[in-house]
Amino acid sequence: MNEKKQKKAAGDGIPGKPGPESPPVAEPTTPRDPLPPKADQSAPEPYSPTGAPTDGDRGRSAQRGAYLTTAQGNRPYDSDHSLKAGRRGPVLLQDHHLREKITHFDHERIPERVVHARGAAAHGVFRGYGSAEQITKAAFLGEDVETPVFVRFSTVLGSRGSADAVRDTRGFATKFYTTEGVFDLVGNNIPVFFIQDAIKFPDVVHAAKPHPDREIPQAQSAHDTFWDFVTLHTEATHHTLWNMSDRGIPRSYRTMEGFGVHTFRMVNARGETTLVKFHWKPKLGIHSLVWEEAQISNGMDPDFHRRDLADAIEAGAFPEWELGVQTFPDNEEQSFEGIDLLDPTNIVPEELAPVQPIGLLTLNANPTNFFAETEQVAFHPGHLVPGIDITDDPLLAGRLFSYIDTQITRLGGPNFAQLPINRPHAPVNDMLRDGMHQTAVHRGTAPYRPNSLDGGCPFLAGRDEGAYIEVPVDLPAAKKERGAPASFDDHFSQPRRFWLSMTPVEREHIIGAYTFELNKCHETAIKQRALQVLANIDAELCQGVARGLGLAAPDPDRPLAAVEPSPALSQLGRQWPVEGRVVGIVADEGCDLDAVRSARGSILDAGMVPLVIAPAGGALQNGSTQPVAVQRTFATARSVEFDAVLLAGVTGPGADAYGARDAKAADPAAPADAASDPRVLLLLGEAYRHGKAIGAWGGAGRVLQEAGVPEDAAGVVVGDGAGGILDRVFALLASHRVWDRFPAGA
Ligand code: HDE
C-alpha cells in the first residue's frame, strides 16, 4: 500500500476524527452521581497531591467523569487498538496508552497472605452492652455505643483461589473503628493453637502447606508433612483434634464461633486489671457440614462459604454474633483452676468460667470492591485501645511482631494504614513520614516532638486516657533462657476433655476424619506415631482410627488424664433459630403448582429460603395455574446447598414423578415404573445420608423408595398434602440435622 492510501485507511491522523474505514468510537457512558460514602469509611479526608480535598465522595468512588482517561486524566480516543505503523505493521513503542494500560495490569496482583490467603469479608456494626464497664475502660464497649467494623473470615492453608469447605481452621478477624483508634480482634474459630511459642510458626506452616516439590496437596492437612509435625510436636494435639472434629468444616461462616485464643488483660478506669478470653457466639448456632458434603461442595461450588455470606447479607439476613468474655483474676501465676492462661493450647471450660456477653456484632453490608477491602485489609493483634492490653503468652508476642512485618511486603511498604479500609476513624497525627505509597500530604515543618515550630503540636495524651499503658505488672526475677514452663508440658489432658465432651455422633465424625487424613499419608511410621498420640487421648478414639488404618492400636505411654467433660464443647443437643435455612423443593410440570407456591410462601414466612429445583430453568407451568419460577435445575442442584429437601406432590395418572413422566412421553412404550431422574435420586440419597430433613407429599413418596430412602426413617416426613408436613420439617431444622440417622459413616 502506498503512503497516501495508508494514511487514508488509518483516518487522517487527527484524534477523534474517524476515517471512513475506522471502527466506530464507542459512546461514553452517561456520568452518574458518585456512590455515597459508607458510614464505615468516613475516615480522614484524603488530600489530593496538590493538597486540595478530593471530591465529596471521600475517594470512595475512584472513578469520575464520563470519559475514559489515562491515569493522568488525558482522554484517549481509542482504547481497543494499539498504535501501529500501518494497520498490519509493527506496534509502536511510543504508544503511552498501551504501555500504561499493560504495565498497570502487570502489577495488579499483590502477594497473597502467607497464611489465611483465602477470605471473605463484610462490613457491620458492633453495639456495646455496657456490661464490661466494670472491667475495662474501652469506650466502644460502653452501653449502646455503636462502632463500625469490618470482619474478614478465612481459611488458613489454601491459596487465594482455593476452595472454601476444606478441613481447616477458620480465621475470624474483626477491625473495630473505634473513637479511640482501631482495635483488631484477630481470632480463629478454634480456641486453641498448634504451638505454644511463635518461633515454631514457620515450621508448622511449612509442614501444613503443600509439599515443596510438587506443590500438592492444596488447602489440606491430609498429607505426611502435616502429620509428621503434629505428632512430633504433641502440643499440637488439642488444635488438631478440634480440626478433625466437625469444627474443621463449618456449614457457614455465619454458624461458627470465634475465639481470641490468647488471654488478654483488661484495665478499668481505676487501673484494676482482669484477665479475659474473648468469644464470639453466633446467633444462628454452631453448625457444620459432614465430610462428604464438604468434598462435594469443593467441586460443585468452591465459593460455598463466600457466596453464603454475601447472599445472606444481600438478602437482608444479617448474621449476628454476641461478643463475650470469660474473666479470670489477674494473679501472679496467670492461671485459673490449675489451667495455665498463658498456654494457647488450653481452653478454660465454660462450666468453670461462663462466657459473659458484652456486645453484639451485626454484619450488614458486603464490600464494594474485593481487592480494595477484603484483600488490602491489614489486621494486627497489637492494634489495641485503652482498656485492652496483652499478656505474656509467648505466641502472642511473636504475632505482635509478625503482622506488621508481613504487611510491609504484602502491601508494598509501610503506609498501608492509609488505605481506605485500614484508616482509623479517629483523627491520626502520627509523625510517621514518607515511604513507599505515601498518599498523605503532610503539612507543617516539624515532624518530631516536642517542637517549637508547629505550635508544639502534636501533644501527648494524659497517662489515664492514653493507649499502650504498660500495666505495671511485676516481672519475676529471671535469667535469660530458651525454654518453657513445666505447665506447658501437659499436651493430653485438654484434648481428652474435648473428646469426652463429644456426643457419639461427633466422636464418629472425629474417628472418620482422622482415618481419612491418616490414610492419605504414605509413611507408616507417621501413622503409628499418630496412633500413639490418640492412645494418649482415649482408647476408643485410638482403636477406631487404628481399625480404619489397618494397624494395631497401641497402649497409652502415660496415664490417661482424669478430666471432667465440658458439655458446652458439643455442638449437638440444642435447638437453634431456623432463619436463613435453605429448603429445596423438587418439582416438575406434573406437580400441583398451587401447593408448591403455598409451600414456598410458608418457607419464606418462617424466614427461610425456598429454592425450586426443576428439570429445566425458567418457570414451571402446567396450564391450570400461575407459573412457578425455577431457581435450580436437576443439573445445577446438589444436596449440600439445602438444609432440607421437599418433594412436591405429583398429579395425574400413576403419580409418576421427576423424569419418569418425561421418559414415558418420549417413549410411550416405556414401562409403567420408569425411573425418576437419577439426579433427583442422587440428591435424595445424599440428603438422607447427610442427615437432612426430607418431606414428600401427594404421591411423591414413591420417589423416596426409588432413592432407597425409607419412608419411616427418622426425619422423613410423608403426607397427603404440603400443609401437613411443613411444620414437622421446620421443627427438624431447629436441630440442624436429623442426628438419629448417624452414625452412618458419612
Ligand atoms: Fe496469624 N498471621 N499468626 N494467627 N492470623 C496472619 O498476617 C502469625 C495466629 C490469624 O484476615 C498473617 O496479615 C504468627 C493465631 C488470622 O487478614 C501473619 C502466629 C491466630 C489471620 C500471621 C500466628 C491467628 C492471620 C498472614 C504464631 C488466632 C488473617 C497475613 C505466633 C488467634 C487475618 C497477615 C486477615 C494472619 C502470623 C498465629 C489468626 C503471617 C507468627 C494464634 C485470623 O502475619
pLDDT over 60 (residue 61): no
> Which domain range does residue 621 map to?
582-741
Residue 34 gets which letter from DSSP? P
Cα(612)–Cα(645) distance, integer angstroms: 10
What is the number of the ligand 1 atom nearest to the C-alpha of 154? 11
- Percent of the chain beyond pLDDT 90? 77
Contact 327/135 with Cβ under 8 angstroms?
A: yes
Of 182, 127, 145, 149, nearest in space to 40 by CA: 149
Q: Are residues 269 and 377 in the same domain?
A: yes
The 10s digit of each residue's pLDDT in 200-236 is 999 999 999 999 999 999 999 999 999 999 999 999 9
**Ligand 1 centroid, distance to 402 Cα (angstroms):** 8
First to last CA, the chain: 72
**CA triple 365-371-372, angle to 5 deg:** 70
The 10s digit of each residue's pLDDT in 719-729 is 988 888 999 99
pLDDT over 80 (residue 64): no
pLDDT over 90 (residue 348): yes
The 10s digit of each residue's pLDDT in 444-472 is 889 999 999 888 888 888 877 778 867 77
Q: Are residues 564 and 590 in the same domain?
A: no
Per-residue pLDDT, 442: 87
Residue of the CA atom closest to atom 14 of ligand 1: 399
* Structure-model confidence comparison of residues 24 and 220, the more confident one: 220
369 falls within a domain: yes
What is the number of the ligand 1 atom nearest to the C-alpha of 202? 41
Annotated ligand binding at 730? The verdict is no
Q: Is residue 575 very low, low, confident or very high in pLDDT (cuts 50, 70, 90)?
A: very high
The 10s digit of each residue's pLDDT in 399-426 is 999 999 999 999 999 999 999 999 999 9
pLDDT over 90 (residue 339): yes
Q: Are strands 582-586 and 609-614 parallel, antiparallel or unpaired?
A: parallel
Per-residue pLDDT, 40: 45
Cα(604)–Cα(598) distance, integer angstroms: 10
Q: Which residue carries 507408616 as its cell?
A: 524
Annotated ligand binding at 160? The verdict is no
CATH code where residue 510 lies: 1.20.1370.20
**Ligand 1 centroid, distance to 667 Cα (angstroms):** 61
pLDDT over 90 (residue 51): no
Of 475, 324, 456, nearest in space to 391 by CA: 475
Sign of torsion, CA 476 481 482 488? negative
Maximum average pLDDT range among 587-596, 660-669, 687-696: 687-696
Per-residue pLDDT, 113: 98
Q: Are residues 596 and 544 in the same domain?
A: no
CATH code where residue 688 lies: 3.40.50.880
Per-residue pLDDT, 119: 98
29 falls within a domain: no
Residue of the CA atom closest to atom 30 of ligand 1: 113
Output the nine-digit C-alpha cell for 260: 481470641
Q: How many alpha carbons fall within 13 Å on the CB side of residue 311? A: 14
Q: Is residue 15 very low, low, confident or very high in pLDDT (cuts 50, 70, 90)?
A: very low
Residue whose CB lies within 8 A of the most ligand 1 atoms, among 149, 186, 206, for a mutation test: 186
Active-site residues: which are they?
116, 188
Task: Tell me the average pLDDT across 373-386.
Answer: 97
Q: Are residues 628 and 500 in the same domain?
A: no
Q: Is residue 478 very low, low, confident or very high in pLDDT (cuts 50, 70, 90)?
A: confident
pLDDT over 50 (residue 335): yes
67 falls within a domain: no
* Amino acid occupying residue 187: G
Residue of the CA atom closest to atom 43 of ligand 1: 171
The 10s digit of each residue's pLDDT in 687-704 is 999 999 999 998 888 899
Per-residue pLDDT, 468: 80
Farthest CA pair distance, the chain: 100
Residue whose CB lies within 8 A of the most ligand 1 atoms, among 116, 159, 169, 396, for a mutation test: 116
325 falls within a domain: yes
Q: Are residues 530 and 598 in the same domain?
A: no
Per-residue pLDDT, 481: 94
384 falls within a domain: yes
Per-residue pLDDT, 17: 43
Residue whose CB lies within 8 A of the most ligand 1 atoms, among 110, 114, 115, 342, for a mutation test: 115
Q: Are residues 513 and 563 in the same domain?
A: yes
Please count the helices (runs of H) and the strands (runs of E) in the chain.
18, 20
Q: Are residues 417 and 296 in the same domain?
A: yes
pLDDT over 60 (residue 717): yes
Per-residue pLDDT, 660: 73
212 falls within a domain: no
Residue of the CA atom closest to atom 32 of ligand 1: 187
**Ligand 1 centroid, distance to 126 Cα (angstroms):** 22
Output the nine-digit C-alpha cell for 380: 494486627
pLDDT over 60 (residue 169): yes
Contact 230/205 with Cβ under 8 angstroms?
A: no
Q: Are residues 285 and 187 in the same domain?
A: yes
Q: Is residue 743 very low, low, confident or very high in pLDDT (cuts 50, 70, 90)?
A: low
CATH code where residue 408 lies: 2.40.180.10
What is the number of the ligand 1 atom nearest to the C-alpha of 262? 32
**Ligand 1 centroid, distance to 115 Cα (angstroms):** 7
Alpha helices in 167-213 (DSSP H): 201-208
* Structure-model confidence comparison of residues 31 and 60, the more confident one: 31
* Structure-model confidence comparison of residues 665 and 291, the more confident one: 291
Per-residue pLDDT, 650: 80
* Structure-model confidence comparison of residues 656 and 640, the more confident one: 640
Q: Are residues 565 and 586 in the same domain?
A: no
How many structural domains is the chain composed of?
Answer: 3
Output the nine-digit C-alpha cell for 76: 484517549
User: Residue 93, Cα to own-chain centre: how many angstroms?
Assistant: 45
Q: Is residue 144 very low, low, confident or very high in pLDDT (cuts 50, 70, 90)?
A: very high
ipTM tops 0.90: yes
Q: Are residues 680 and 625 in the same domain?
A: yes
Residue of the CA atom closest to atom 23 of ligand 1: 399
Per-residue pLDDT, 424: 93
Q: Are residues 525 and 637 in the same domain?
A: no
Residues with CB under 6 A from ligand 1: 113-116, 119, 152, 154, 171, 173, 186-188, 193, 198, 201, 261, 377-379, 395, 398-399, 402-403, 406-407
The full length of the chain comes to 746
**Ligand 1 centroid, distance to 156 Cα (angstroms):** 9
Task: Tell me the average pLDDT across 275-286.
Answer: 97
Task: Tell me the average pLDDT across 531-543.
Answer: 98
Cα(730)–Cα(604) distance, integer angstroms: 12
Q: Are residues 705 and 565 in the same domain?
A: no
Provide the whole-model pTM: 0.91
**CA triple 411-412-416, angle to 5 deg:** 50
pLDDT over 90 (residue 272): yes
Lowest-pLDDT choice from 241-255, 349-363, 623-637: 623-637
- Percent of the chain beyond pLDDT 70? 88
552 falls within a domain: yes
Annotated ligand binding at 403? The verdict is yes
pLDDT over 90 (residue 737): yes
Q: Is residue 712 very low, low, confident or very high in pLDDT (cuts 50, 70, 90)?
A: very high
Final residue in a domain of this structure, among 422, 447, 478: 422
91 falls within a domain: no
Final residue in a domain of this structure, among 569, 601, 634: 569
Per-residue pLDDT, 672: 60
Annotated ligand binding at 152? The verdict is yes
Final residue in a domain of this structure, among 399, 422, 445: 422
Average pLDDT, the chain: 90
